Copies of this chain bind each other. A is one copy, B any other.
Amino acid sequence: MKKIYCLIYILFTLPLLSQEKEGITHSGQLTGNPPFPIENYSELDNPKSTSETLWNKKNRTFVSWANTDVRYNKEIPAPIALSQETLHLSAWKGEQLNAQLIISAHRKSLELNFEISDLSSSQSKIESKNITGGFVRYVMTDELNKDGKGACGPRNHKEFDSTLVADPIDHLNDRLSIAKNTTRPVWVTINVPRDITKGKYTGEIKIRDGDRILKKLGLEIEVLDRVLPKSENWKFHLDLWQNPYAAARYYRTDLWSDEHFAAMKQDLQHYVNAGGKSITASIMNRPWNGQTYDPFQSMVTWRKTIDNKWSFDFTVFDKWVEFMMDLGVKKQINCYSMVPWRLAFEYFDEASNSMKTIETKPGEKAYSEMWGAMLKAFATHLKKKGWFGKTYISMDERPMDVMLETIKLIKSADKNFKISFAGSFHKELLERIDDYCLALGENYPQEILGKRQNRGKISTFYTSCAHPRPNSFTFSPPAETAWYGWYAAATGLDGYLRWAYASWPLEPLLDSRFSTWAAGDTYLVYPGGRTSIRFQKLLEGIQAYEKIKLLRREFIESGEKEDLKKLDTLLNGFASSEIIEKDVAQSIKKANIQLNSF
């Protein structure tokens, strides 16, 4: 009898073991392509139980427009107060709008699908191809540190509440089976064409269970007579660090193969659409050591020849930069890092035909030799490519003497090398840093900010695990990422930086938690070209920033002092980084209405 059990056990575990080897997730699902389909996947089990009583209060499926500022719970029916059959939005031409509708499956499971019509005005129409619907999916999240003061530090998942949260927007499935007694939102994005006439456009969305119509929801968009330019012309300096190494691992493609680039394209398109400005390039191995599930490798080949000379190859760097530029990210290339988190530099050693590592730091001879050689070769190469003027040697915070040593070395290699820096405010660095990014909560002196802008120097802010709010964890209130654009506009900053655009953990579609920091810290978009509630709200804020910039210039040029004053007053509420969680969504909603009333 024991033998039979043993055999059953072996037969049962063998496929699991072999899948493990294939890089399977903790849930047993392989969501990465190829060769497994990425379209369909099952969400992880809901750790929260479902209250039958709650669900039994209604007899039939509930469908309504909902609030884009809310992450609706999967196990809770849509709030009774919610019952909106038509959604009224207003927009500039060229703007992308967000909308959310919600379906709660009382009493029976559903084969959900929907159909979006054209939106018509008396004179024209917004074709349905400009409107995308995607099921909002549930992903595992956790919470802030127990003291509520931040989300930094390594995590043992057992010590944090883990729940499912609505965040990924899954546009790949036009049909989704949902279980009885669950809620499922649908996210709708409307790309208002730029060349359309102003006016009221109306249409509808049919929500179906299989072939049966559950509800028709009306959609009405007031298109205003103002135009938002293409994202490539936006002013907001958006710098979200890309991680091609995560994509290669997740999609199981060879690094820099055609398949790799093809897979990344759809994911990076959201960054392009949001006006992404910086290409993230790793010019040495592991600039941030192992802080991401997939460490950044070097895009530059460091080679020590048998004659003990440094030699460099930029083939990978070029291929990556060219790919990003072709996608539309063209403003600058930020190169990490001369001051990596671990001061260890790996290179290919020709003598031993193996990788070797030098531990050295700025100010030391070995450091100056290797980086001096690299920067000179790099400058020559960049000039040949015509990229020198847009390339920034990028630094993370280090002790001041170390940073000054590094800057000295950069400038001695080529005095025109640009430098970017993310960290605290240091008066000594202001003149030296071309692209300066402060942690949210630290402020540039206002007079300096203006001077920097006049000289073409960029000044931005960032959020990280140190900020409990606003932030973009998967559990953060959606409006908090929209707030970034308003804050930048109110304080005169040029934009926003975040250290991880898509540094995915093991299975980003299923579980946004990571071994350090709160869930979602390491990425904003999901595989398969899926955007997220967080990212869509970030885009909303950036669009508001662009509108504000345009309006301000218009008011100044036309001498509309009254409007200028109104605009300033409107922004006053966003000038402090000390936000009150419950007020953010409401303030932004109000401000948006005002912005669209100019």
**Taking beta carbons and an 8 Å cutoff, which residues of A are in contact with B?**
254-257, 285, 297-302, 305-306, 308, 313, 315-316, 319, 346, 348-355
Contacting pair B306 A315 (CB below 8 A): yes
**CB atoms of B319 and A306 under 8 A apart:** yes
- Complex CA gap A285/B315 in Å reads 25
Contact A306:B297 (CB < 8 A) given known A285-B353, A348-B353, A355-B355: no
- Name the residue of chain B whose CB is nearest to the CB of A255: B351
Of the candidates B298, B313, B351, the one whose C-beta lies within 8 Å of that of A254 is B351
* A353 touching B306, Cβ below 8 Å: no
Q: Which one of B255, B305, B353 contacts A352 once the chains associate, using CB atoms below 8 Å?
A: B255
A207 to chain B, nearest CB (A): 46
Given contacts A254-B308, A305-B315, A319-B306, contact A298 B351 (CB under 8 A): no
Chosen A-B contacts, 27 in total, with CB atoms closer than 8 Å, are A254-B351, A255-B349, A255-B351, A255-B352, A285-B353, A285-B354, A297-B352, A297-B353, A297-B354, A298-B353, A299-B353, A300-B353, A301-B350, A301-B353, A302-B353, A305-B315, A306-B315, A306-B316, A306-B319, A313-B350, A315-B350, A316-B351, A346-B353, A348-B348, A348-B353, A354-B355, A355-B355
Assembly CA distance A316 to B354 (angstroms): 12
Q: Are A316 and B285 in contact (CB-based, < 8 A)?
A: no
**Quick one: closest B residue to A245, CB to CB?**
B352
Q: Is the CB of A351 within 8 A of B256?
A: yes
A352 contacts across to B, CB distance below 8 A: 255, 297
Residues of chain B contacted by A298 (CB below 8 angstroms): 353
- By a CB distance below 8 angstroms, the chain B residues around A354 are 285, 297, 355
Contact indicator A308/B353 (Cβ below 8 Å): no
User: For the complex, what is the distance from the CA of A348 to the CA of B354, rounded to whole Å?
Assistant: 8
- Which residue on B lies nearest to A318, using beta carbons? B306
A478 to B91, CA, bound (A): 97
Asked if residues B306 and A256 are in contact (CB atoms below 8 Å), the reply is yes
What is the CA–CA distance of A351 and B316 in the complex, to the nearest angstrom?
Answer: 6
A358 to chain B, nearest CB (A): 13
Q: A255-B352, A315-B350 are in contact. List 11 more A-B contacts (CB 8 A).
A: A255-B349, A256-B306, A257-B308, A297-B352, A297-B353, A297-B354, A298-B353, A306-B315, A306-B319, A316-B350, A346-B353
A298 CB to closest chain B CB, in angstroms? 4
Chain B residues with CB below 8 A from A351, complex form: 254-257, 316
Give Cα A297 to B355, complex, Å.
Answer: 12
A257 to chain B, nearest CB (A): 7
Q: How far is the CB of A265 from chain B (nearest CB, A)?
A: 18
Q: How far, in whole Å, are A354 and B248 apart by their CA atoms in the complex? A: 15
Q: Which of A313, A315, A351 has the most CB of B within 10 A?
A: A351
Q: Give Cα A351 to B285, complex, Å.
A: 12
CA distance A349 to B301 in the complex (A): 10
| Cα distance, A350 to B348, chains bound together (Å) | 10
Measured in the bound complex, the distance between the Cα atoms of B306 and A316 in whole Å is 7
Q: How far is the CB of A397 from chain B (nearest CB, A)?
A: 26
Given the complex, which residues of B lie within 8 Å of A350, measured CB to CB? 301, 313, 315-316
A354 to B316, CA, bound (A): 12
Residue of B nearest to A257 (CB): B308
Instruction: Name A299's closest neighbour in chain B (CB-CB).
Output: B353
**Is there contact, CB below 8 Å, between B257 and A353?**
no
CA distance in complex: A300, B352 (Å): 9
Q: CB-CB < 8 A to A257: which residues of B?
A: 308, 351
Q: Which residues of chain B come closer than 8 Å to A255, judged between CB atoms?
A: 349, 351-352
Q: Which residues in B have their C-beta under 8 angstroms from that of A348?
A: 348, 353
Q: Given the complex of chains A and B, what is the CA–CA distance between A301 and B346 in angstroms?
A: 17
Chain B residues within 8 Å of A256, by CB: 306, 351
- Least CB distance from A246 to B in Å reads 13
Q: Which B residues are in CB contact (< 8 Å) with A300?
A: 353
* Residues from chain B with Cβ under 8 Å of A349 in the complex: 255
CA distance A319 to B349 in the complex (A): 15
- Contact across chains for B353 and A316 when beta carbons are under 8 A apart: yes
Interfacial chain B residues near A346, Cβ < 8 Å: 353
Instruction: Tell me, rounded to whole Å, the shortest Cβ–Cβ distance linking A238 to chain B.
Output: 28
| Assembly CA distance A271 to B254 (angstroms) | 47
Distance (Å) between the CB of A286 and the closest chain B CB?
10
Name which residue of chain B comes closest to A260, CB basis. Answer: B351
| Assembled-state Cα–Cα distance A354/B299 (Å) | 11
**A303 to chain B: closest CB distance in Å?**
9
Enumerate chain B residues within 8 angstroms of A297, measured Cβ to Cβ: 352-354
Closest to A355 in B: B355
Q: How far is the CB of A342 from chain B (nearest CB, A)?
A: 16
Complex Cα gap A226–B315 (Å): 65
Counting from the closest, the 6 A-B pairs by CB-CB distance are A255-B351, A298-B353, A256-B351, A297-B352, A256-B306, A306-B315
